[in-house]
Amino acid sequence: MTAASNGAVVSSPAIPAEHVLLDVDDVSCVLGGVRALSEVTMHVGIIGPNGAGKTTLFNVVTGFVPATTGEVRWDGAPLRGGKAHKVARGGLVRTFQNVGGFTGLTVAENLELATRGRDADAIDRVEALLHLADVRDKAVEDCSLATRKLVGIAMALVRTPKLLLLDEPLAGLDDTDRDRVTSLIEQVHDSGVTVCMVEHDIGRTLRLADRMVVLDAGRLVAVGTPAELARDDVLTRNYLSS
51-60, 142-151, 227-236: range with lowest mean pLDDT: 51-60
All structural domains of the chain with their residue ranges: 18-91+161-240, 92-152
51-61 in b/e form (b: 16+ CB < 10 A) is: ebbbbbbbbbb
Q: How many residues does the chain have?
A: 242
Does the reported pTM lie above 0.85?
Answer: no
24-28, 102-106, 201-205, 229-233: range with lowest mean pLDDT: 24-28
Burial status of residue 133 (CB atoms within 10 A of its CB: 0-12, 13-18, 19 or more): middle
Q: Is the pLDDT at 15 greater than 50, yes or no?
A: no
> What does the pLDDT read at residue 60?
77
| Whole-number average pLDDT of the chain | 77
Close Cβ partners of 137 (under 8 Å, ≥ 6 residues apart) = 106, 107, 108
Give the whole-number percent of the chain exceeding pLDDT 70: 76
> What does the pLDDT read at residue 231?
86
β-strand partners of 165: 94, 196
Angle between helix 120-129 and 175-190 (nearest 10):
130
Classify 95 in phi/psi space as left (phi over 0), alpha (psi -120 to 50) or beta: beta
CATH architecture type of domain 18-91+161-240: 3-Layer(aba) Sandwich (3.40)
Indicate the pLDDT class of residue 17, thresholds 50, 70 and 90. Answer: very low
Highest mean pLDDT, choosing among 12-16, 26-30, 97-101, 158-162: 158-162
Indicate the pLDDT class of residue 92, thresholds 50, 70 and 90. Answer: confident
Mean pLDDT for the stretch of residues 139-149: 96
CA distance 12 to 45: 11
Indicate the pLDDT class of residue 80, thresholds 50, 70 and 90. Answer: low
Q: Is the pLDDT at 13 greater than 50, yes or no?
A: no
CA distance 36 to 58: 12
